[in-house]
Each structure stands twice: as structure tokens, then as C-alpha cells.
Amino acid sequence: MIHTVFVAGLSHRTAPIDVREHLALDEDKLREVLSDVAGRGVCSELMILSTCNRVEVYGVAEVPGEAHGAAFRHMTAQRGMDFQALEPLLYTKTGPEAVLHAFRVAASLDSMVLGEPQILGQVKDAFALAQSCRVVGPTLHALMSQAFAVAKRVRTETEIGRYAVSVSFAAVELARKIFGTLDGKTVLLIGAGEMGELAARHLQDQGTLPVYVANRTWGRAQDLARDLAGTAVRYENFPSVMAEVDIVITSTAAPEPIISVADVEAVLRARHERPLFFIDIAVPRNVEPAVNDLANAFCYDVDDLRSVVESNLRERQREAQRGEGLVEREVGKFVDRLKDLEVVPTIVSLREKLEAIRRGEVARALGRLPGADEATKQAIEALSQAIVNKVLHGPTVKLRDSSRAGQGRRWVEVISEVFGLGAKSRTGPEP
């Protein structure tokens, strides 16, 4: 059963962006592909994951190549692409490797930005879509449920998603390292640069309110203040506002610094040395770099924030290593479970069969013993159960062991034949 699980596709690792964006399909088209490929009978289960960074077909098929070949032919035809040209970009994995791939993708270990959280949602959506098209069976169901569980574990047990990997989020993270909670902290935004606005928005999302906006052009300050639900202040008044706020974001086009060391010294005295954090996103810089040397003043420029991002990315790589270990162990467990899945129906129907025989024989025996007291009845019941359990033990253990050893299929045949079990148990669970 495990060898029938496959994944085939292309991702940011194998295909350039123009191929990926060209191949991406919307939901309706995906439904069409899923129904069509499953309808041809080349696979028993199917799911397609289509995001801007990867297009992948997951499924269960006796001949995986036929199944994903059909799926990609259909998809390329939909988009008017040449399948032959696409083929060299495709990777395929089967069995435990496919399971590993599914787990790594869901856990964001294969993402372009390690640990980005969107991919899990995208996998869940793809799974839901396949379910709604009725092309998901027990194997894909088990695989994906486990992939979601593993992804969650990786997220909670490692710190892969903990540290910011964009400049504006890095600024938020630093603010948290300085102030702890950002609730009730206030922000002054000077200038109208896009990155400055973005950083202000991210800070607001953390509960930082309110925002003051200063700009040389009064109208622009008012517009931006309205956008950010903040307050516009006159540009010439910003030094006095600085005494009140906790975080100052600068992104003006001024050719010279607009905030000097002396300014900040005066402001710090006025605010009783409460810490003040400057996020200087402007190039050339708006805040004199030496401001950072003052006690209780912290100043980060764009390059500083970039280096924070770089070190956070290294941090994610470090955490990803731990995630990989966790995923590998989970793959081992899952493969064993899947192998059990192959023999479980046989074990169940064997038990059912023997149990039916037992009940019939006990009823017959008791019919012939009308005067039997309660103790006798119980003894007969217990005796018959013990015999059934002892008989079942051997075949059950043999089936489980053989499935782990990869020979489950053969022993399912043998035992079904010997005990005269129905054909149903031989093919495994129905989708």
C-alpha cells in the first residue's frame, strides 16, 4: 500500500517563476482536472496543490507515473502549455519519500521563506477541494491529517516561525525587545515613505496606538493620518511630539539628518529618560547615527534592520534543522501505520468471522443444556472466548509483522484463502 502513494510536481526549487505562474489554475479548473483524472481510473485517490511557489499532485495509484502524467497533461492542456517542455522540471517521489515530502511541505520546511505560515492553509484548502470532488480515500486522508498534525508540531516545538524575516516586521520585533508589550505605546511617523507606513501599520497591529503623522506637506500628513486612523501634526511641531511618543519612524526625503543628537538628548531629559526607539527607514538617513550611543535611545537604520532579518533567517534555518529531525521520525511512524492499514481489514474480518462461529456454537450448546445455571453459562462463554483469542493470536501477529516487513499483501492473500474470508477484505478499505 505504501508504495502506491506518490507525489509529483514542480516548485520554486525546480521551475522558474514564469512556468509556475503560467501553470497555476483556479479552483474550478482544478475541480475539472481532479474529476477527469480520477474518472479515468488511473488512480484511486488524488489531490492537487497549486500555489505561486509549487504545483504538486498527490495521490494513490498502482502506476503513479500514469496518474501524475495524466494530471499534468490535463493541466498543461488547460493552460495551452507544452507538456514535453514541462516534463524535465517535474520531480516524482513515491512511498516513504512521498510521505516525507508531504510532511515537509505542510510544515513549511520546503518553502521559499522557511517557516512561512501560509503554506499549511494552502495544503488544507487543496485537501478540502479534493474531498469535495470525492477523490480522497483513506490513504490520502490519513496522510494529510498526519501532515497537518506534524506541521503543527513543527510550528509549536521549534521556533521556525518565530522571528521576523521582513524589514518592517524586524522593526516590530525590535520594538518588542525594547518595550516588551507594545500596548499603550505611541508612534510618531515622520515622512510619507511606503516602508515607514508599512512599519507603522505592523506596529498598530501589535496594539500600539495612537499614531501621530508629521509631513512637510500638511495635506499629505492629513491623508496618511486618516489612513492610519491617527493624528496629523504640523511638521515644525514634531520635536515636541517626540517627548510624548515611544517609537519614531522616519522616512523623509531630507538630504540631511532632521534629528540630531542634541535634539534627542533634550527630548530624553524632558521624558525622564523613558526609552525612545528610532526606526530610520530613510536613505539618506534622517537620524544622526550617534543617537544610538545615548542611554535609553535606540536607533536602527535600514541596513541594521536588514542585518536583523539576515540573522533571523539563519535562526530559522537552525530551527528548520530541528524540524527536519522531527519530520523524519514522524514519517517512520506514519509508514508503519500505513502498512498496518493494509492488514487491518483482514484482521477485523477474521475476528468477525471467528466471533460469529463462536456465538453460534455457544447458542447451540446452551440450547442443548436447558438446566444450565448461570455459572455454567459463564464458563462456556469464557471458554469459547479464550479459544477464539488464542486462535486469532497467531494470524494477527503474523499479519502485523509481515506488513511491517513489506509483505503484508502476500499474507493477506494467504490468510483470507485459508480462513475463507470474503473478497472485500483483500482489497483494503473502500474509499
Partner 1 sequence: MNAVVFDVALTAYIVAAAAALGSLFGRREDLARFARLLTVAGWACHTGAIILRWVDLRRAPVLTLAEGVSVVIWVAVLFGLWIEHRYGITTFGAFFLPAILALGLGLPTGLRGLALEPQLQSGWAVVHVALILVGLAALVLNFGSALMYVLQERQIKAKRRGAFYYGLPALETLDHLTLVTLTVGFPFLTVGLVLGILQAWGVLQAGRSWGGLLAGDPLALFSLVMWLVYAATLSGRAVGLWRGRRAAYFAIVGFCVLLATLGAGAFFHGRHGS
The nearest distance, CB 415 to partner 1, in angstroms, is 45
Residue in the block written with cell 472485500: 424
The nearest distance, CB 296 to partner 1, in angstroms, is 5
3-state secondary structure of 372: coil
Residue in the block written with cell 544610538: 292
**Which residues have CB under 8 Å from 336's CB, separation 6+?**
404
Q: Is residue 358 within a helix (H) or strand (E), and if so which, with residue range?
A: helix 302-367
**Comparison of 5 and 299: residue with beta carbon closer to partner 1:** 299
The nearest distance, CB 273 to partner 1, in angstroms, is 4
- Strand bridging mode 91-94 / 45-50: unpaired
Please spell the DSSP secondary structure of 24-68, one letter per residue: ---HHHHHHHHHHHHHTTS-SEEEEEE-SSEEEEEEE-SSHHHHH
The nearest distance, CB 177 to partner 1, in angstroms, is 5
**Comparison of 159 and 381: residue with beta carbon closer to partner 1:** 159
* Contact by Cβ (8 Å): 342, 1: yes
Name the residues annotated as catalytic: 52
In the sheet that 211-215 helps form, which strands lie side by side, from edge to edge?
A: 231-234, 211-215, 187-190, 247-250, 276-280, 297-301
Residue 80: is it exposed, middle or buried by C-beta count within 10 angstroms (0-12/13-18/19+)?
exposed
The three cell numbers locating residue 1:
500500500
**Could you give the CA distance from residue 109 to residue 117 in angstroms, rounded to a whole number?**
11
Binding region for partner 1 (CB under 8 A): 159, 163, 174, 176-180, 272-275, 292-293, 295-296, 298, 300, 304, 307-308, 311, 315
The nearest distance, CB 163 to partner 1, in angstroms, is 8
